[in-house]
Amino acid sequence: MESDHLRIDKWLWEVRLYKTRSQATEACKAGKVKLENSSVKPAKEIKPGDIITLSLNPLFKTVKVKDFPKSRLSAKLVPDFMEDLTPPEEYNRVKLIHETNLEYRDRGIGRPTKKQRRLIDKLKNSKEKWE
């Protein structure tokens, strides 16, 4: 691209960190995207070499801007435009969270009944026996 800067929401969408540009915009507005440890607005212009930290619940990802694509990229081309600086410990932490969260319940459905809790306990105990 001929320019040396680009809107942050557009870049986040183009390098596939968010599925839609509106999701990238909302993340910026919600304070989940930080440039040099300060929250940014969606229209903030970035340049190559900038380091961006974003919260992709529960992952905190750190990336470095290498270049600007002309349009949305295929997944194979993303490393040419973005360098992942996220420490491996962060990925391990997220993996551990997913492994230990066996009794996930949708938000807003309330506490489990006594019968449901017994079933959850039974499933958890049977998993321990197999390990």
- Written as six digits, the tokens of 28 are 């910026």
Please provide residue 94's backbone torsions phi and psi, each rounded to the nearest 5 degrees: -65, -40
Count CB-CB contacts under 10 A for residue 102.
Answer: 10
- Distance, CA of 64 to CA of 46 (rounded, Å): 11
- Mean per-residue pLDDT, 61-73: 93
pLDDT digits (tens, 9 = 90+) for 92-130: 988 887 777 666 677 888 888 999 889 888 877 765 554
Q: What does the pLDDT read at residue 100?
A: 73
Per-residue pLDDT band for 64 (boundaries 50, 70, 90) equals very high
Place of tokens 């970035």: 46
Which residue from 47, 52, 49, 56 is spatially nearest to 35, judged by alpha carbons? 52
Report in angstroms the alpha-carbon separations of 27 from 14, 19, 40, 42, 82.
Answer: 15, 12, 10, 8, 19
pLDDT digits (tens, 9 = 90+) for 20-53: 999 999 999 999 999 988 999 999 999 999 999 9
Asked whether residue 57 carries a pLDDT value surpassing 50, the answer given is yes
Q: What does the pLDDT read at residue 103?
A: 61
For residue 128, the SS3 value is helix
Q: What does the pLDDT read at residue 108?
A: 85
Judge whether 48 and 1 are in contact, CB under 8 Å: no
How confident is the prediction for the chain on average, in pLDDT?
88
CATH 3.40.1190.20 fits 6-86, yes or no: no
Q: What does the pLDDT read at residue 24?
A: 96
Per-residue pLDDT band for 1 (boundaries 50, 70, 90) equals very low
